[in-house]
Amino acid sequence: MIQIKNPAELKGMIKAGELAAQALALAGKNIKAGVSTWELDRIVDEFIRSKGGSCPCYGFEGFPGHNCFSINEQLIHGIPSKKAVLKDGDIISCDIVAELDGFMGDNTKTFTVGEVSDEAKRLMKYTEEALYKGIEQAVAGNRIGDISHAIETHVKSGGYAVAEKFIGHGVGRDMHEDPEVPNEGKAGHGPRLVPGMTIAIEPMVNSHSNRVRILGDKWTVVTTDGSLSCHFEHSIAITNGEPLILTLESH
């Protein structure tokens, strides 16, 4: 069931979104060769807790980290580890969720480590652009399929593939709510967007094939062919006007 937020709840969503965005920016500032994803996770967790929030990913269905850090061919759900040490040329997707006063903010950005390949830069460019193409469609009266179609069209225009199986979602008091927000679909189809809906739009894109698999840790999702993948995400509120990006550092 889709949860429509009232004005007071939207204020809570904005505050949670700001905290998540600030934590994501902090992660980005600490990304460099030689840093482990365990260290990034510690920094982010300490920051979120210092602001009165928490990391709801920790312990979620047994997940052992506070947030997800996925390197190169890892698409999503990378487990923080002291053994996962960044090196020049890597790209890393940081998926940060913050809970504050009962509301969730969920955002992701793929960062570079030092100088990366032109291939990586182009993949990141198209994925981030696809996110904003989707956001442009997140207006009252449109349907979820309009978001999905916009993302899919842009991803494929770059010669890339929408990763199979994993999609965006509603977000609010729970990390994952209705509706589902696929990254491919037909314009004009799916639930209608109405003011007060809050959703996480998150294109997950592979360089070549759409195929993915889950590693033996039962969490980390990687491309089956070992090619690069990329992930960008914002939490959004549907309003009577333009889409409201909740996961900004300030409003």
What CATH number does residue 232 fall under? 3.90.230.10
For residues 232 and 202, the answer to whether their CB atoms sit within 8 Å is: yes
Q: Is residue 170 in a domain?
A: yes
pLDDT at residue number 194: 98
Q: Is residue 141 in a domain?
A: yes
pLDDT at residue number 96: 99
Inter-CA distances, 66 with 47, 56, 79, Å = 12, 7, 9
pLDDT at residue number 60: 96
For residues 189 and 147, the answer to whether their CB atoms sit within 8 Å is: no
Q: Is residue 135 in a domain?
A: yes
CA dihedral for 173, 178, 184, 186, sign (positive or negative): negative
- Cα 197 from chain centre: 18
For residues 232 and 245, the answer to whether their CB atoms sit within 8 Å is: no
pLDDT at residue number 54: 99
pLDDT at residue number 199: 99
Q: Is residue 250 in a domain?
A: no
Q: Is residue 18 in a domain?
A: yes
**Rounded to two decimals, what is the model's pTM?**
0.97
Residues of the chain with confidence (pLDDT) below 50: none
Q: Is residue 251 in a domain?
A: no
User: Alpha-carbon distance 131 to 207, whole Å?
Assistant: 16
Q: Is residue 121 in a domain?
A: yes
Q: Is residue 1 in a domain?
A: no
Which regions of the chain does DSSP assign to beta strands (E)? 68-71, 74-76, 91-100, 103-112, 161-162, 168-170, 177-181, 198-201, 204-206, 212-214, 221-223, 229-231, 234-237, 244-245
| Residues spanned by the domain of 147 | 7-245
Domains of the chain: total? 1
Q: Report the SS3 class of residue 171.
A: coil
